[in-house]
Chains A and B, each alone.
Chain A
Amino acid sequence: MLILQGAVKTFFHGTANERRALRNVDLHLAEGDFATVIGSNGAGKSTLLNVIAGTHPLDAGTLTIDGRIVGTMPEHQRARTIARVFQDPQAGTAPHLSIEQNLAVAETRGKGRGLRRGVSKKRRQHYRDLLATLGLGLEDRMRHRVGLLSGGQRQALSLLMASFTHPAILLLDEHTAALDPQRAELVLTLTERVVSESGLTALMVTHNMEQALRMGNRLLMMHEGEIVHQLDAEQKRMATVSDLLTLFGSAKGTVADRTLLS
């Protein structure tokens, strides 16, 4: 489904601020895989999502999605198959457009956008049903501006917008980090539901180790631009938060050793 090989991304190349966000990352996601990604700040987690989405071009390496090499394809073209939910609840929606207008923009993802009415009657009915599944009462506020919604509501809407057109790949970038625990829980439950219902291939970055263990069937641990550990479904089921912390410790150790030796 998604094959990333030898991915390298360096920011501020050749300056004093040079930062090697991705060193040599290989990642294979099979169809239906749901991998969580953990790692310390600056480990390259967000950069990994950004190079997959096409926000940042790769310096080296290849990215293949569904058998197609998408190396130079711009973000808006990749959006046909890749959907995203951002950490910032404000980032994934247009605040001055209404809920139904935001959904209409999301619905035309990857299709030509012509001069047909954006929010048609048929679509409105569809959106009402979709919003009702969120259980947030948004179906009665479809003409309200999204800027008026709370963070949790916006994030739930973002998730719906990212998933209801059934993209092949869903990228989640700490999408519950800005929410209070109860809203975070709600958004997580929704995430599990849409991923399993649509059989999406998903990559979820998180800072929360419990979340990382609970969600998905694979776990990736990143450190200083590399994937230092991977757990498969079986290992993940057995692992605990303290196991992850131990792994973290060893990861830091090995990298530090390697830096010393090189």
Chain B
Amino acid sequence: MLVALDQGMIFALLALGVFLTYRILNMPDLTVDGSFTTGGGMAAILLTHGVHPVAATLAAAGAGALAGFVTATLHTRLRIEPLLASILTMIALWSINLRIMGKANLSMAGLDTLFSGLKEHKLLKTWVSVLILATLAILAKLLIDWFLATDFGLAVQSTGDNPAMAASLGINTNTTKTVTLMISNALVGLAGGIQAQYQGFADISMGVGLILVGLASVIVGNAILGTRYMFLASLGVIVGSVVYRLVIYFALRWKVLDTGDMKLISAVLVVIALVVSQSPRVRTFFQRLSPYRAKEAPEPLLHIPKGGGEH
């Protein structure tokens, strides 16, 4: 089960990236499927060339950011619809990733990686590795919280929430979108780089379908912890990622499913999570659970005041 927790924490980085685009920017970004592999491939090839693991991991994040920049440019400069722009990048990245890696599968057996130390002391897949990876995920989450609360971060949030209002208040929405897509895919590339080192190899198809894993984590996590407070919303993403891994883990362990079914499960899980989180009955259920939401029952948009009105 600790493997599942390790994985949950690594993929939480990817889910946080998806959170930035899907929730904050209100833009589904499929670049993720490609940029995860880009990160993994980048880390792997650099490690085989003797680069320091930390540098290789950072390069993985940088490569991801670059992929995000490409999607952003296709969308903002060439005016291609965001979904299509990200699909184009995702497909193109397949070839780029093969170029980066040189072949479809790159093993890091016997190489120094981020996890060599842990492996040596037999601490991988123990609470120690879980704790270390959790710290990393929480750190990323806190950075995102901080970023979104800055002047620029608020501009990013406005861009996703109400683009017309953002432009009317002097926000260059092309800039906010580009920066956010870059940060998002940097996190995805980072997750790819770390995952490749964790499993000991990079594979050309390691990113396939991961957008759904990210979406499932975001939707499940937000359903559990809500989106009212940024602190809880981003924390929920990590929780969602872990929940997702645990579900998969137990499904595999009890032989309900085998690994080939994973993609189907991701898709079904996202559908369920979407439908359930949109159901009013479920919403009221969660609202009853959390006292702070009950207090904020929305007022009717245009209600005619009785008598003295609101003064």
Contacts of A151 in B (CB 8 A): 301-302
Does A118 lie within 8 Å of B158, measured CB to CB? no
Does A150 lie within 8 Å of B302, measured CB to CB? yes
A217: min CB distance to chain B, Å: 25
Interface range on chain B (Cβ under 8 Å from partner):
35 or more
- B291 within 8 A of partner (CB): no
- A147 within 8 A of partner (CB): yes
Given A118-B154, A180-B302 in contact, is the A110-B162 Cβ separation under 8 Å?
no
Contact residues of A: prevailing secondary structure:
loop
**Contact residues, A91-133 vs B (CB, 8 A):** 91-97, 101-102, 104-106, 108-110, 113-119
- A136 within 8 A of partner (CB): yes
Does B150 lie within 8 Å of A117, measured CB to CB? yes
Contacts of B106 in A (CB 8 A): none
Binds A, one of B37-45, B188-196, B268-276, B292-300: B292-300
Chain A: interface residue total (CB-CB under 8 A): 52
- B280 within 8 A of partner (CB): no
- A75 within 8 A of partner (CB): yes
A119: min CB distance to chain B, Å: 7
Give bound CA distance, A136 to B170, whole Å: 27
Give bound CA distance, A55 to B168, whole Å: 9
Q: Select from chain A the residue with minimum beta-carbon distance to B147.
A: A115
- A89 within 8 A of partner (CB): yes
- B77 within 8 A of partner (CB): no
Does A113 lie within 8 Å of B151, measured CB to CB? yes
B20: min CB distance to chain A, Å: 14
Does A97 lie within 8 Å of B154, measured CB to CB? yes
Give bound CA distance, A179 to B301, whole Å: 10
- B304 within 8 A of partner (CB): yes
- B282 within 8 A of partner (CB): no
Does A105 lie within 8 Å of B302, measured CB to CB? no
Does A96 lie within 8 Å of B157, measured CB to CB? yes
Contacts of B82 in A (CB 8 A): none
**Contact residues, B254-301 vs A (CB, 8 A):** 296, 298-301
Does A75 lie within 8 Å of B168, measured CB to CB? yes
Binds B, one of A77-85, A204-212, A250-258: A77-85
Given A96-B157, A148-B299, A182-B309 in contact, is the A118-B151 Cβ separation under 8 Å?
yes
- B165 within 8 A of partner (CB): yes
Q: Can you sample 5 A-B contacts with CB below 8 Å?
A: A97-B158, A105-B166, A113-B154, A144-B296, A148-B298
